[in-house]
Every structure is written in C-alpha cells, then in structure tokens.
Chains A and B, each alone.
Chain A
C-alpha cells in the first residue's frame, strides 16, 4: 500500500462546477500538506500549503485537512477550462521524521468542459 493514495481520474466537470479532489494517507507523522497543479509537460506549481488540521482558503481554492481521518481535500469553486490540469497532493512529516522530503500522490487529471 502506498503512503499516499489519490484517485488518478480522469475527472470531467462542466464549467462553473465545484470540484472536489481528495487524498488519503497512512503515515500519521505527516504534518505538512500541499496541493500542486501540473499542466502537461510543465513542472508542478504550488497552489496551497497547510500545516496540521484545518481549512485554508485562497480565492477559488479551499484546502481541508482532517488528520484524524488521514484525509485531505482541495475544493475548486466556479471551475474554469483553464483549471484543466493534473492536481497533485503532497505531504511531509518534517522535523518529526528527520527528513523534509515530499511524498506525492499519483495526481488526479481534471478536465473542465466549456
């Protein structure tokens, strides 16, 4: 079993829809949770960074972390065709594990239809 599980999709939604993307994880030491967006043949671009449990909002994006369930989510409101990309969750245990490497999910391919 992978440390981080993410449904690869593809996920197709109509323009304007609310998109929900999720990851589950098994390592209870993870403290830092990130969402990256990756367009085809480009490097990952940071969208959201969250420490520990709770919610964080930035424009149309909301990140949620539920450490008790080992479950994180990214919500995209009013989705646009330009949001079509692969969304990667990433996690890190940080100082508690003595390493700062990120563990990534496989990524979910999202397509927003005009």
Chain B
C-alpha cells in the first residue's frame, strides 16, 4: 500500500517485558515521527527523525523509551521494562521532508501492558 504501515496492530505484554514497535513510512518520505495516544486524548509527541538521526527526542517520557531509524526508512520504537502506564496507541507519521510538509499517520499499534 501507499500509506504508513505499523506492526503489530496489537501488542499485549506483561509488566517488565521489552517490546518493539515497527513503522514503515510512505516511500520517499525523509521525516518520521512517533506519537502516543492515550484513551480520550489527542496524540502526544515522542520523537522525530530526519533521515537516520533523531532531530527532536524531547517527548520521550524517560530512558526506558528509545527509537532508531538505522537506514533512514523503517523505524523501531523500543520500550524497556514496560509499565502499565505505557498502555496506549503508538502512532507513527511521515512527511516528505522535515518542515512545512504535512504529516501522514499510520493506523497505530495498540499496546496493552498487563
């Protein structure tokens, strides 16, 4: 498909476990963004990449959260020692370039920490 894809669509894990969430941006898009959306709230910024480098990671809540984009395309959001408060929908977006280009969102990964 031509849109942003995210896998898995749902992830259930136990408290304390490690999880990885994957995002495939729209082909040719150089900027990639991660947001987190809790129930009844709007998306909350986590981090964005221009190419392979994290240009702004100011939204990551603590050092348990980490994201990579090693080849400038696919990105992985990694969460260590998951907590119940990490339960949310994790959204990925991409834009053609960093700057004024609009962000197009994927369907999200619903993470549930038991």
Question: B91 contacts the other chain (Cβ, under 8 Å)?
Answer: yes
Q: Of the 9-residue stretches A56-64, A67-75, A101-109, which lies at the interface with chain B?
A: A101-109
B108 x A102 contact (CB < 8 A): no
Other-chain residue from B45, B100, B110 in contact with A102 (beta carbon distance below 8 A): B45
Other-chain residue from A8, A32, A101 in contact with B33 (beta carbon distance below 8 A): A101
- State the majority secondary structure of interface residues on B: loop
- Closest residue on chain B to residue A99 by CB atoms: B56
Q: What string of 1s and 0s marks CB contacts (under 8 Å) between B87-113 and chain A?
A: 000010000001110111111101000
Q: Which of B55, B102, B106 has the most CB atoms of chain A within a 10 A radius of its CB? A: B102
Residues in B with CB closer than 8 Å to A104 are: 35, 42-44
Residues in A with CB closer than 8 Å to B104 are: 46
Question: A44 contacts the other chain (Cβ, under 8 Å)?
Answer: yes
Residues in A with CB closer than 8 Å to B4 are: 43
A101 x B100 contact (CB < 8 A): no
Residues in B with CB closer than 8 Å to A110 are: none
CB distance from A89 to the nearest CB of B (A): 8
Residues in B with CB closer than 8 Å to A36 are: 105
A32 x B100 contact (CB < 8 A): yes
- Interface residues in B9-49 by Cβ distance below 8 A to A read 31, 33, 35, 40-45, 48
A94 x B99 contact (CB < 8 A): yes
Residues in A with CB closer than 8 Å to B103 are: 46, 102
Question: A53 contacts the other chain (Cβ, under 8 Å)?
Answer: no
Q: A100-B31, A102-B35 are in contact. List 15 more A-B contacts (CB 8 A).
A: A34-B102, A43-B106, A43-B107, A46-B102, A51-B100, A88-B42, A90-B42, A90-B43, A94-B99, A100-B48, A101-B33, A102-B33, A102-B103, A104-B43, A106-B40
